[in-house]
Structure 1
Amino acid sequence: MLHGISVRNPPSKFFVKKIINFRKCSSFSTKLSYKHHLGEEPLRHITIGTLLEESESKFGDRNAVISRDQKKSLTFSQVLVEADKLAAGLKSLGLEKNDRVGIWAPNLVEWYVTKMACARAGLIMVGLNPAYQPTEMEYCINKVKIKALVCADKFRKQDFYEHLVTLAPELPKTEPGKLRNSRIPSLQTVITTSEDTKKGTYNFNEVQDFGTNDGVANIKKYQSCISPDDPCNLQFTSGTTGKPKAALTSHFMYVNNGYYVGKRNELGRKHHTICVQVPLFHAYGTIITVMAALNHGSTLVLPTAGYNPDKSLDAIKEEKCTIIHGTPTMYVDLVHRQEERKEDISPEIALSGGALCAPHLFKKMLTVLNVKKVKSVYGLTETTAVVFHSLWGESEEKAVSTVGHVGEHLEVKIVDKDNNVVPCGTAGELCVRGYCTMLGYWDDVDKTKEMIGDDMWLKTGDQFILEENGYGRVVGRLKEMIIRGGENIFPKEIEEFLNSHPHVLETQVIGLPHERLGEEVCACIRLKPGTSLTQDDVKDFCRGKLSHFKVPSKIKILEQFPKTTSGKIQKFKLLQTVLDSS
C-alpha cells in the first residue's frame, strides 16, 4: 500500500479463463467493438534512468534539448551529467525515495533536467501548471504532500516566488530547506531557477553544485535500487467534483508509452528535430514529446517558455524542425501566422493532440504549413498518455477523420450503459486495459475504483466509435468536461467558485463552440433579487483565484435553468438556450 494506492491481487484462474474465452469469442465475432493489439515488439522492463543511460550511449553528442529563449542547449551526454548532479544535490537535501518533487515552471531547460533528475533519484515528479494561482497550488501541494518545489522566476504575469510568499509569509525569513508553514505543512524546500537570490530558497545551480563526485557516483549505483514498476510521476487531472485528482504512473508506463508513440510518429526512422509548442507539464509534453524523444534520440526545440506562434515559426525555419507538436488551437494560430508571413518551411509531420482536430484544419496544416503528413494522438492522463495514434503510411482520410489506430499491447472495447460490448460502428463508452493504465489516483481509492474496475478495465468517460480495422473516432463526451485550447476544464470547480459571489444565487457552466479554441467557458448565472453582475465584475472576482483559462469569457444572466422533474439541471437544453439567444 502506497498512500492509498494498493497493488491489486492477481486474477484468479477462473477470471483468466474468462478473459481467454472472451478473446476467442472476439476473434470469431469480429464485428464486436473489441480489439487487442498484440504488438510487434515486447514491452521493455526498464526505468527512465536506465533509458537515459542508453540514449546517452547511442546519441551522446546529439542535442537533446534546445531552448531558444534561454540560449541554452544540452546534448544527451550533458543531460545525464546535469541530471545526476541535480539528483545528487536533491538527495543531499534529505529527499528520499518516493518523496514528491513539484515542478512549477514553463518550458525551460531546467524543467527537462529536473524531470530526469527525479527519475535518477527515485523521486516522484509532480508536474504543475505554471498558470496555477496560490489557492490552486495550496491544494496540489497538500494533496500529494510535495516536499520540494522547483519553480521558475517569472513567467508572463506570474511571479512564482511572490505567490509562494502569499501562501507561506515565513519563506523570506526562513533558512533554505527549513520552511515550516501550517498552510502547506509538507513543503520544506523551494528551489528557484532565478538568477537572483530569493530569500528562503535555494538556487537551481546551487543545488546542482551540492552534487559532489561521490554523490554522483552514488546516484549511478542507486539505479539498481529503482524498479521499473516504481512510481515516477503524479499528474493532476480535474474531476467532476471540481477538485483535481492526481494520477500516479510508473517508470514502466512512461518508458513504453513514450517508445510506442515515438515509433508511430516515425521518430526511429531518422534523427528528427521537434518544435515543441505544448507545455511540458502536460501529458502531451511529458510523454508524447519528452519520453518519445528520449527513446528515439530526437532533439527537442523549445521556441519560447510559453506558446507563441511567431516564435514557433522562427524555430521551425531556423532550427529546420522536421516535426511539429501542438494542439488544434495552436495550429489555428500557426496556420494564420504562416498565411501572413509565408515562410520557407517544409516540416515532415504535424502531430495534433490534446483536443479533437477538425478535418478542415488538418487540410490547412498540409497546405499552409507545407507538411507531408498530419498525425493524431488520443489518450488520457489516466492512461499515461496515448491509447490511439496514427499509423505509418495511412491514408489522408484516416489521418483527418479518426484519432488513429489502437496502440500496441493494449485492449480496447466500446460498451453501452449496461456494460455490454456494442457492435463495431456503434457509439458507446471507450474502455481501455493494458500496461499504460495508471496505478491509481493518489490517496483516493474510491475514485480509483470508479475509474478502474476489478477486471482492470479503465472507463474513459468518452463516447467513442471503434471501426473493425482498429481505428477510433470520438463522437462526444459522457463527462461535462470543457476543452479550451487543449486545457481540460471541469465546470463544477468554476460553478462552486462563482457561487461564492455575494450577488450569485446559482451558476451553471457550459462550453460554447469557439473557432480557434475549440470551446470557450460560458457561465450561466441566476442572480439574487435586486443585484447585478457584468462580465468585468466576473473577471475581477476571478483574478488571482482561478487560472486564466478557467475564467468565463462569456456570462449569461438567466431567471431559471431548465430542469428535469427530479430537479436536475438539463445542460444540453441550457446550451441550446444560450446558442439560440446568441
Structure 2
Amino acid sequence: MAILRLGRLSKAVRSQLTARCLTTQADLQTQLPDKEVQRGPSYINHIGKDALVYRNVGQHLDLTAENFPNIEAIVSCHENKRLTFSSLVDHVDRLGAGFLKLGLNPGDSVGIWAPNFLHWYLSMLAASRAGLVSVGINPAFQGPEVKYCLNKVGVKAIIAPETFKSQHYYSILESIIPELKNSQPGSIKSNEVPTLKSVIIDTSVKYAGAFRFDDVLDLANSNEIKSLKKNMHKINPDSPCNIQFTSGTTGAPKAAVLSHYNFVNNSIHIGNRNEYKNERICCQVPLFHAYGVVISIMGGISHAATLVLPSAGYNPEASLKAIANEKCTVIHGTPTMYVDLIKKQKELNLPIGTTAKYAVTGGAACSPQLFEDIKNVLGLKKVKTVFGMTETSAVIFQSTTEETKDNVLHTVGHVQDHVEAKVIDANGDTVPFGTPGELCIRGYCNMLGYYGDEEKTKEIMSNDRWLKTGDQFILREDGYGMIVGRLKEMIIRGGENIFPKEIEDFLNAHPDIVETHVIGVPDERMGEQLCAFIRIHEGSTLNTDDLKAYCKGKIAHFKIPKYIKIVEDFPKTTSGKIQKFKLKEIYEKGV
C-alpha cells in the first residue's frame, strides 16, 4: 500500500507539475496497447454486487462469532496461544469492560505500542466494542517518537509488552514520564504527557504505576461486562474506531482517523476478492499498520478466517514453519518480505505448497519478476495484489477472484467495489483514459480526516470528499490501474521525466538481482542522475560494469543508472516500506 502522501497543491506548484510530473504522450503509448488508450474521461464508479453495511466493529464480530463459534479466530504461534471466535468475544468483552472500569470513556484514545502479540489483537477489538479509539504505535519507536504520538492524539491509556528485542517498554515510558514510578496505577499525572492516565504492561511482573494486562482483563464483574454488550449498539458506525500514524518517512507522522464504517466495509470487500472465507491466513505484516489491522485482522473477522501470527516481528523462517505447521492457505506480506521469504524457502524447502494457495502482496510496488518468483518458488496457485493507502482505510484497487496473468503482473488490480476513482492533471482536470496523472479516490473508504489538523486534511481531501493520493497513475476504461510512480519521487534528468519504478522493474528481471531501489541524486550538468541500490543473490559475482552492459540496448541511455551501489540490505520502516531518503543519505556519505 502506498503510505506517503501528497497534499493539495498551490497554483504555482501545480503549474510546475504540469511540466515536471506528467510523462509525455509518447511515454504513455509505450505503457499501454493502443486499444486501451481511451478518449473518455479517466473516471470510474464501480458498483459492487454486495451492498455496503452499516454496523460497528463490535456488531460485526458478533455476527461472525454467532455463525462460526468454533472456528479459530487467531493463533499466536510464538506465544502458543489460540482462540476460537466464541472465546475471542468473551476475552474482548472482559477487556473492554476492564478499560471502562479504569475510567476510560467512549471516544477516548487507547495506544497500542507493541509488535504482533495476542494482546494487540485483543486490545484493538476490545477498544472498538467499548466505544474507544485504538491508536497503533510503531513498536520500534523510541521515547521522543512515542511522546509525540501520545500528545498528538491525546492518548489516555497505553498498552505495551514488557520487552521485544532490545526494547524495554516500561523503561522507555519512564524516561518520558518520570512521574510513572511514583504514581498509583490509573492516576498518572504527567507534565510531559498530560492526557495519559494509565499504563498497561503485558507481563507477570508488577511495575510501579502500571497495570498488568491480565489484571485489566479480569477487572470488570459480570454486570459490567453485560452492560458493555447491552450498550454496544449505541456506537455510531460513522464514529472513529482507529487512528493510524502515517509512516513518517518524511517529517513528523500525521494521524489518520478511520471509522467503524471504514473498517467493516473495506474488510468485507477485501476478503471477497481475496477469497478469505474460512481460510487460514499467515500474517507477516505488523498489526499496527493499515495492512495488518484492516486487511488481515478485519478481513479475517469478516470472512471467518483464522489469523496466524508466526512471530512477534517479521521472521521469514518462522513464517515458513507457521505456514507448514498451521496449514495456512493464504499469505500476507509486503514485497520486501516476499523477497526474504523466497530466499529462505530456497534454503529450507518446506512443504508449504501442499496447503498454501494464495499470496497477497501490498504495501509497496511489486516487480513482475517478484510476482513470478512468489508463485513458482513458494508453489502457490495465485498471487494477488492490493493497493491503497492509510487514508483510504487500506485497499482501493486489488485483484479480482479470477485474474489474468497480465493484469497481475502489470497492474495494481481493479478498482474496489463501491469506490470512485479519477485521474487528474496538474490543473485538477480529469485526463483521458490511459493518460497518466494523479489518482484521486472518493467513497466509503476515505478517512474521516487527520486528527487535530484541519489544514492538512484540506490539502489532501477536498470539500466534495475527493482524496488526492499523490500517486502518478494510469486508469484504464476496464477499471484496472497502473502506478507510474510517486509524484514526489520522479527524477528529472536533463529534462527527461523518469519514474524509478520502471528502472527497478527492469533491473529486477536480471537473474542475479534480488531487489532494486532507484533514487535521483544531484548532478551539476544534468540536474539529476540515477543511482541504483541493488541487492544481489548470495554467491553472485555481478558487478557494476556487468549491469551497465546488461542495460545497454534494452532501455534508453538516459534511463541507465550512472551510479550503481551493491548493498546487503535496505533501510526500511517497520511496515516494510523502503526509506528512500536514507538511501540518499548513504549516497551522500559515499560521495
The alignment's TM-score, normalised by the length of structure 1, stands at 0.79
What is the match of residue 343 of structure 2? 336
2:411 is the counterpart of 1:407: no
Question: Aligned to 1:214, which of 223, 226, 237?
Answer: 223
Q: CA deviation at 1:479?
A: 3.1
What is the match of residue 311 of structure 2? 304
What is the match of residue 299 of structure 2? 292
Q: CA deviation at 1:309?
A: 0.3
Q: 1:134 to 1:514 in 2, by over 3 A?
A: farther
Q: CA deviation at 1:218?
A: 0.4
What is the match of residue 202 of structure 2? 193
Could you tell which deviates more after superposition, 174-183 or 273-282? 174-183
Alignment RMSD, CA only?
Answer: 2.5
Structure 2 contact 241–259 (Cα < 8 Å) conserved: yes
2:110 is the counterpart of 1:97: no
What is the match of residue 251 of structure 1? 260
Q: Distance in 2 between matches of 1:415 and 1:550?
A: 26
Q: Distance in 2 between matches of 1:281 and 1:555?
A: 27
Q: Secondary structure at the match of 2:421?
A: strand
2:378 is the counterpart of 1:383: no
Question: Aligned to 1:49, which of 40, 58, 61?
Answer: 58
Structure 1 contact 329–516 (Cα < 8 Å) conserved: no
1:300-324 Cα deviation digits (max 9, x unpaired): 1100100000000100111111000
What is the match of residue 191 of structure 2? 182
1:138-167 Cα deviation digits (max 9, x unpaired): 110000000000111111111111110110
Long gaps (5+) in structure 2: 1-37, 491-499, 502-518, 520-527, 538-576
Q: Distance in 2 between matches of 1:548 and 1:160?
A: 25
2:173 is the counterpart of 1:159: no
Q: Secondary structure at the match of 1:391?
A: coil
What is the match of residue 181 of structure 2? 172
Q: CA deviation at 1:468?
A: 1.4
Q: Secondary structure at the match of 1:122?
A: coil
Q: Distance in 1 between matches of 2:236 and 2:188?
A: 31
Question: Aligned to 1:67, which of 76, 100, 106?
Answer: 76
What is the match of residue 377 of structure 2? 368
Q: Distance in 2 between matches of 1:557 and 1:301?
A: 39
Q: CA deviation at 1:446?
A: 0.6
Q: Distance in 1 between matches of 2:42 and 2:531?
A: 30
Q: Distance in 2 between matches of 1:511 and 1:222?
A: 58
Q: CA deviation at 1:363?
A: 0.3
What is the match of residue 345 of structure 1? 352
The higher relative CO (CA closer than 8 Å, separation ≥ 6) is in 2
Q: 1:277 to 1:556 in 2, by over 3 A?
A: closer
Q: Secondary structure at the match of 1:267?
A: coil
Q: 1:186 to 1:548 in 2, by over 3 A?
A: farther
Q: Distance in 2 between matches of 1:222 and 1:555?
A: 53
* Amino acid across the alignment from 2:214: N
Q: CA deviation at 1:30?
A: 6.8
Q: CA deviation at 1:289?
A: 0.5
What is the match of residue 113 of structure 1? 122
Q: Distance in 2 between matches of 1:408 and 1:511?
A: 39
The alignment's TM-score, normalised by the length of structure 2, stands at 0.78
Structure 1 contact 328–353 (Cα < 8 Å) conserved: yes
Q: CA deviation at 1:555?
A: 3.9
Q: Distance in 1 between matches of 2:89 and 2:531?
A: 44
* Amino acid across the alignment from 1:457: W
Q: Distance in 2 between matches of 1:452 and 1:198?
A: 44
1:504-539 Cα deviation digits (max 9, x unpaired): xxxx9x99644489xxxxxxxxxxxxxxxxxxxxxx
What is the number of equivalent residue pairs in this alignment? Answer: 479
What is the match of residue 494 of structure 2? none
* Amino acid across the alignment from 1:476: G
2:444 is the counterpart of 1:435: yes
* Amino acid across the alignment from 1:133: Q
1:473-497 Cα deviation digits (max 9, x unpaired): 11110135999xxxxxxx9xxxxxx
Structure 1 contact 332–516 (Cα < 8 Å) conserved: no
Q: Distance in 2 between matches of 1:386 and 1:60?
A: 28
Long gaps (5+) in structure 1: 1-28, 484-490, 492-507, 518-546, 560-577
Q: Distance in 1 between matches of 2:274 and 2:391?
A: 21
Q: CA deviation at 1:345?
A: 1.6
What is the match of residue 287 of structure 2? 280
1:111-162 Cα deviation digits (max 9, x unpaired): 1111110011000110111011110011100000000001111111111111
1:82-115 Cα deviation digits (max 9, x unpaired): 0000011010011001000000001011111111
What is the match of residue 139 of structure 1? 148
2:468 is the counterpart of 1:459: yes
Q: 1:221 to 1:151 in 2, by over 3 A?
A: same
1:543-571 Cα deviation digits (max 9, x unpaired): xxxx9979946745869xxxxxxxxxxxx
Q: 1:551 to 1:558 in 2, by over 3 A?
A: closer
Q: Secondary structure at the match of 1:417?
A: coil
Q: Secondary structure at the match of 1:211?
A: coil
2:260 is the counterpart of 1:262: no
Q: Distance in 1 between matches of 2:123 and 2:464?
A: 36
* Amino acid across the alignment from 1:278: V
Q: Distance in 2 between matches of 1:516 and 1:148?
A: 45
Structure 1 contact 105–152 (Cα < 8 Å) conserved: yes
1:12-57 Cα deviation digits (max 9, x unpaired): xxxxxxxxxxxxxxxxx87321100011111000010001110110
* Amino acid across the alignment from 1:298: A
Q: Percent of aligned pairs with the same residue?
A: 46
Q: Secondary structure at the match of 1:479?
A: helix
Q: Secondary structure at the match of 1:420?
A: coil
Structure 2 contact 391–447 (Cα < 8 Å) conserved: yes
Structure 1 contact 105–130 (Cα < 8 Å) conserved: yes
What does residue range 117-128 of structure 1 map to in structure 2 within 5 Å? 117-128=126-137
Q: Distance in 1 between matches of 2:248 and 2:312?
A: 28
Q: CA deviation at 1:189?
A: 0.2
Q: CA deviation at 1:445?
A: 0.5
Q: Distance in 2 between matches of 1:213 and 1:275?
A: 35
1:59-81 Cα deviation digits (max 9, x unpaired): 11111000011000011011100
Q: Distance in 2 between matches of 1:479 and 1:177?
A: 45
What is the match of residue 568 of structure 2? none
Q: Distance in 1 between matches of 2:335 and 2:207?
A: 38
Q: Distance in 1 between matches of 2:130 and 2:534?
A: 44
* Amino acid across the alignment from 2:313: G
Q: Secondary structure at the match of 1:207?
A: helix
Q: Distance in 2 between matches of 1:514 and 1:112?
A: 36
Q: Secondary structure at the match of 1:106?
A: coil
Q: Distance in 2 between matches of 1:554 and 1:392?
A: 39
* Amino acid across the alignment from 2:352: I
* Amino acid across the alignment from 2:48: G
Structure 2 contact 249–579 (Cα < 8 Å) conserved: no
Q: Secondary structure at the match of 1:461?
A: strand
2:49 is the counterpart of 1:40: yes
1:416-450 Cα deviation digits (max 9, x unpaired): 00111111111100000001111110000011111
* Amino acid across the alignment from 2:309: L
Q: 1:445 to 1:207 in 2, by over 3 A?
A: same
Q: Distance in 2 between matches of 1:45 and 1:143?
A: 29
Q: 1:151 to 1:512 in 2, by over 3 A?
A: farther
Question: Aligned to 1:423, which of 429, 432, 436?
Answer: 432
Q: 1:511 to 1:60 in 2, by over 3 A?
A: farther
Q: Distance in 2 between matches of 1:143 and 1:516?
A: 41
